[in-house]
Amino acid sequence: MIRYIGKRLLMMVPVLLGVIVIVFTIMYLTPGDPARMMLGAGAPASAVEELRETLGLNDSYFVQLLRYIKNVVFRFDLGQSYASNKPVINEILERFPKTILLATLSVTISVIVGISMGIISATKQYSIFDKIATSIALLGVSMPTFWAGLMAVIIFSVHLRWLPASGSYGWEYWILPSLTLGLSSSATIMRMTRSSLLEVIRQDYIRTARAKGQNERVVIIYHALKNAMIPVITVIGMRFGALLGGSVLIESVFAISGLGKFIIDSISMRDNPVVQGGVLLLALSFSICNLLVDILYGFLDPRIKSQYSISRKRGWRRNAQAQ
């Protein structure tokens, strides 16, 4: 297991390098001059040229790329923001906690709501509850999150005046954004739980459990749910990974200064080091989420867990043959 994790971590390196190269290339090819953006349209051409020289923007593509990779790999240095002149790493870490908080809160909400609704809906298939729940879920999947967020603000902040509309100055500021985000992704989780559970409930081993005289609640929670969770966990993991990159729209609607909004703003300002650093962090958190999900599979399903150690056994066999 530990070897498996180590191998997976090692496999992340080429992925992250690839991400660096791709993002760097895209930003390099995008029209627009960062120096010009920083100095403003009215600045003299000589000043712009001078700034380009100091930022190293006049070097060739390969020189710039290699310099960037060298700094990231050997010095963990993501460079400095063009806009603020502060280290990119500090700028990102300043905003990351808010993004993590929002992601954690909303994923927790969506897991609790989505899984429990999915269970009820699957066990009472075709009942009124199931029909209502699946319709709401369909609505939830097709409703744009930012629109739901705006509606929530209009209802709960403007009309009812229960909760603040924007900012992030205390716990009450987190309620609306995390509920909006959480409930909207609970729809996907609910649908996934429902269909996966319906599939599992038809299996022979569920019949075996019932044949023992086990009551229905235990059959579902103990026997069916663990088997049904694998696809659901995949969805949850991807959702969490994506939210760690920041939820641009919700952060904008609720004026939360998180990572998503920061990266988008930096793109429009051609703040290349920030964009590159941000995307790298996003790729990293996504890969880690993926790994965590795969490890979790192993805990849910002993068959998968035994596969994790197979590569090691094969290795043994190969060694034995070599000798």
Partner 1 sequence: MDNVIEIKDLSIQYATDEGIVKAVNHLNLQLARGETLGLVGETGAGKTTTALGIMGLIPDPPGVITGGEILFEGTDLLKLSKQRLRAIRGNKISMIFQDPMTSLNPVVTVGDQIAESIRIHEKLSRAEAALKAKDMLELVGIPGDRYGEYPHQFSGGMKQRVIIAIALSCNPEVILADEPTTALDVTIQAQVLDLISKLKKEKNTSMILITHDLGVVVEICDKVAIMYAGEIVEYGSLEQIYDQTAHPYTKGLFGSIPDIEAKTSRLKPIPGLMPDPSNLPEGCSFEPRCERSCQLCKEENPPLIEIGNGHFVKCHNYGKVGEGEDV
Q: Which residues bind partner 1 (CB under 8 A)?
A: 202-205, 207-215, 222-223, 226-227, 300-303, 306
Evaluate whether 219 touches 209 at the Cβ level (below 8 Å): yes
Evaluate whether 12 touches 287 at the Cβ level (below 8 Å): yes
Q: How far is the CB of 306 from partner 1 (least distance, A)?
A: 7
Q: How far is the CB of 237 from partner 1 (least distance, A)?
A: 19
Q: How far is the CB of 294 from partner 1 (least distance, A)?
A: 16
Which CB sits closer to partner 1, 30 or 208? 208
Q: How far is the CB of 181 from partner 1 (least distance, A)?
A: 31
Which CB sits closer to partner 1, 31 or 204? 204
> CA 226, CA 300: separation in Å to the nearest integer?
6
Which CB sits closer to partner 1, 268 or 306? 306
Q: How far is the CB of 239 from partner 1 (least distance, A)?
A: 23
Which CB sits closer to partner 1, 131 or 202? 202
> CA 6, CA 1: separation in Å to the nearest integer?
9
Which CB sits closer to partner 1, 204 or 323? 204
> CA 108, CA 58: separation in Å to the nearest integer?
47
Which CB sits closer to partner 1, 44 or 213? 213
Distances (CA, A) of 113 to 133, 264, 292, 295: 11, 30, 22, 24
Tokens of 88: 């990119």
Which CB sits closer to partner 1, 227 or 290? 227
The three-class DSSP label of residue 282 is helix
Sequence-ordered alpha helix ranges (H) in the chain: 2-29, 34-39, 45-55, 61-75, 88-123, 128-142, 145-152, 172-201, 204-211, 216-218, 225-244, 248-253, 259-268, 272-300, 302-322
Q: How far is the CB of 293 from partner 1 (least distance, A)?
A: 17
Listed residue (236, 249, 245, 238) closest to 282, CA to CA? 245
Which CB sits closer to partner 1, 14 or 302? 302
Q: DSSP code of 78?
A: -
Distances (CA, A) of 109 to 20, 177, 197, 222: 33, 11, 20, 22
User: Side chain identity at 164, as an amino acid letter?
Assistant: P
Evaluate whether 233 touches 300 at the Cβ level (below 8 Å): yes
